[in-house]
Chain A
Amino acid sequence: MALYVKFQSQHNSEIDYNRFKSALKFLDKLFKILRCEEREVYLFVGDSSDDSDEKRSFDMGILESHFRSGIKKLKDRSGILGFVLEGKLIVDKKKFPFVFELRPRVLCGKERFDIRAEILPNKYAQIFEDLIKFKSDLKSLIAQRVKEFNKERSGNENVIKRVILSKHGDEYNNIASWDFLYTSDVTYFLSKIIDFSKELSDRLSFGNRLKFSNNILQNDNFAFLLSRYSQQFNVALASGSLSVIPQDQEAMNKFIESISKDLEVVASKVYKKENETINLIDETLSTLT
């Protein structure tokens, strides 16, 4: 598992430089929660394991000009540039080897994440989420800093679209295995629940997911339902943008299962199953011919 961050995509000429600046600003926010020592940074092209850049100490000014010259050198191919910061996080007087990676833009399409923050295994912890054992309010602090980040954003910085704590590879599909979610677009939360439930995906295969999600979200009863389940399963919710902060993974699983079951009931009243729809189309057309 790791902490993943996705930026809102921007359409302007300085896009790669803006991603870089936003990543550093987020890093700064993270370091206000978790102290970090022995910080070293290097740029890479394409794949973080294929780097050829020398490691340099974390000096913002030098790094900025170094990144700018990297972008200039690559010209139109600057989307394949990324950076890695390696350091030691200090939490509860223990040190954790830390890796923060800004992935190349070309690899961060619709669903992929721009930033990955992870710790390397040592005696005390294996993955980023284990830090919660040593700092119990870590998830809510991250949610708070992300909101701060989006509030303080200046014109040439990317806004944070979503943040999740998740197993790599599973982050796109199974919301129930996530340990934390922040999203500025609440319909994303519902679309992930639809992906999670086979029944819902099946029924909505001929329906409009976005329209369904928007209508559900506008309904007051759904807000009551969310609030009830969040209390029942120890999941903290923050409104406006949506932050889901479960006490543990089991809580998240039960929370998502309960919501998806209720949505299945709604969908079953509104939409037919895929097979039923196909049969209905077939039957209707056969009566017309």
Chain B
Amino acid sequence: MAEIKLPKPFGSVINRYYSTSKYIIVEAFVDSYEYNLTNGTKCLRDWLSLNGDDTCCDCYCVVQLDNGQKEGILLEDKNIKKCRNREVSDGIRQMTFTHNKIKEKNESYPLNWAFLTNAKFQQPLKAKTLSGRRSKVLCNEMKNHPVKIRNSEIEVFIV
């Protein structure tokens, strides 16, 4: 089976997160409106039966760890060159929507983590992170799945 490669910057995000363990990406879906379907990736919108009206996040992938465990990850990039709406809250909403659609499919796809990169912080959230507190941002429907926010602009990585 050919190796699946995620589009930038998602490959490096996953690499960084699983840097201490061996893993392979077994399945990956990307939003075809924003990314080309290459390197073994499939169309997220077709898979979730979404039409042009709907919003969704950029990528969903399933990672298999060396102990055989599978983890599902949602990814959304708010790169300044690509996105004009870069709000953290809107990124979380897009991921929540995708999360709900995956749940609706009722297949045994895992959902463990959600990463949001290069998003623009709202003032209260920015103040909260800059004060040096470790904080978790949780989605509405993803109570047990912390959203990790990596923001190159203000150099924070919240866990």
Contact = CB atoms under 8 A, between A and B. Distances in A.
A27 interface: no
A246 to B, nearest CB: 17
B124 interface: yes
B24 interface: no
B5 interface: no
Nearest to A129: B84
A53 B37 CA distance: 38
Contacts of B93: 86, 97, 99, 120
A47 B124 contact: yes
A214 B41 CA distance: 61
Contacts of B86: 168
B52 A97 contact: no
B85 A121 contact: yes
Contacts of B123: 107, 112
Interface string B87-101: 111101110010000
Interface stretch (A88-96, A144-152, A223-231): A88-96
B54 A97 contact: yes
B77 to A, nearest CB: 12
B20 to A, nearest CB: 28
Given A121-B55, A122-B55, A46 B83 contact: no
A126 B83 contact: yes
Contacts of A119: 85
A107 B85 contact: no
B26 to A, nearest CB: 28
Given A120-B90, A122-B53, A49 B137 contact: yes
B139 interface: yes
A97 B100 CA distance: 15
Interface in B93-140: 93-94, 97, 120, 122-125, 137-140
A107 B124 contact: yes
Interface in B40-95: 51-55, 83-90, 92-94
A96 B138 CA distance: 24
Interface string A120-139: 11111011000000000000
A121 B83 contact: yes
A3 interface: no
Nearest to B121: A169
Contacts of B87: 2, 118, 168
Contacts of A59: none
B35 interface: no
Contacts of A112: 123
Interface string A100-118: 0100000100001000001
Nearest to B54: A122
A83 to B, nearest CB: 13
A89 to B, nearest CB: 10
Nearest to A130: B84
A213 interface: no
B33 interface: yes
A267 B52 CA distance: 52
A37 to B, nearest CB: 11
Given A2-B85, A123-B33, A97 B138 contact: no
B55 A97 contact: yes
A257 interface: no
B53 A95 contact: yes
Contacts of B89: 48-49, 99, 101
A283 interface: no
B139 A49 contact: yes
Nearest to A101: B89
A232 B95 CA distance: 44
Contacts of A101: 89
Contacts of A199: none
21 contacts: A42-B140, A47-B125, A48-B89, A49-B92, A49-B137, A49-B139, A50-B138, A97-B54, A97-B55, A97-B97, A99-B89, A99-B93, A101-B89, A120-B90, A121-B83, A121-B85, A124-B53, A127-B84, A168-B87, A168-B120, A169-B120
Interface of A: 1-2, 42, 46-51, 55, 86, 88, 94-97, 99, 101, 107, 112, 118-124, 126-127, 167-169
